[in-house]
């Protein structure tokens, strides 16, 4: 009886920030729990860590990830870090965008209704949330079918 009570006390005293491995969400599902569309991360996240108490997170790719979407060149390092809360990511590291001839780090992302705001610190840009329902693929973004057609025609 004392052993059962001790086990129950230990289980109930574990911090809520730890989850059982079988119940762990994918990085994309975790984003959705914080009101973000999955498409702000590229396909290929192989692992992630999230402290639900502080919001600190790290997401991991097998390597760097670069692609173009419309007139924007984006680059993700193999490790992406930041602090996530409901509708807001701050202290973001590992994501950059090419503006004209310069690479700028995206440091904050805010989801506000139908808009996503991306900040590089000195400036920000808004885009419709609908643009981020699908995750881009490293190397080709959303234009992968065109790339596959080119390769198969050679």
CA distance 145 to 80: 27
- Mean confidence (pLDDT) of the chain: 84
Check whether 128 has a pLDDT greater than 90. Answer: yes
Q: How many CB atoms lie within 10 A of CB 65?
A: 23
132, 77, 145, 140: which is closest to 105 by C-alpha?
77
> Phi, psi (5° rounding) for residue 65?
-135, 120
Start-end of H helices in the chain = 2-13, 27-33, 144-152
Question: What percent of the chain shows pLDDT beyond 90?
Answer: 71
Task: Output helix, strand, coil percentages for the chain, rounded to the nearest 5.
Answer: 25, 40, 35
CB atoms within 10 A of CB 109: 21
104, 96 in Cβ contact below 8 A? yes
Residue-wise pLDDT for 23-55, tens only, equals 689 999 999 999 999 999 999 999 999 999 999
pLDDT digits over 90-102, tens only? 999 999 999 889 9
**CA of residue 110 relative to chain centroid, distance:** 13
- Tell me, what's the pLDDT at 41? 95
Q: What is the pTM of this model?
A: 0.79
């Amino acid at each position: 009886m004392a052993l059962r009570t001790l086990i129950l006390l230990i289980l109930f005293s574990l911090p809520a920030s730890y989850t059982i491995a079988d119940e762990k969400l994918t990085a994309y599902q975790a984003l959705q729990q914080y009101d973000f569309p999955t498409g702000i991360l590229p396909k290929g996240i192989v692992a992630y860590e999230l402290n639900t108490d502080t919001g600190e997170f790290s997401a991991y790719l097998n390597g760097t990830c670069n692609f173009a979407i419309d007139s924007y060149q984006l680059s993700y390092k193999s490790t992406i870090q930041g602090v996530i809360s409901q509708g807001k990511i701050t202290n973001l590291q590992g994501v950059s965008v090419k503006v004209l001839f310069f690479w700028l780090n995206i440091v904050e992302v805010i989801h506000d209704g139908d808009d996503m705001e991306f900040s590089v610190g000195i400036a920000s840009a808004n885009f419709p949330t609908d643009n981020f329902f699908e995750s881009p693929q490293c190397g080709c973004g959303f234009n992968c079918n065109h790339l596959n057609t080119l390769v198969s025609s050679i």
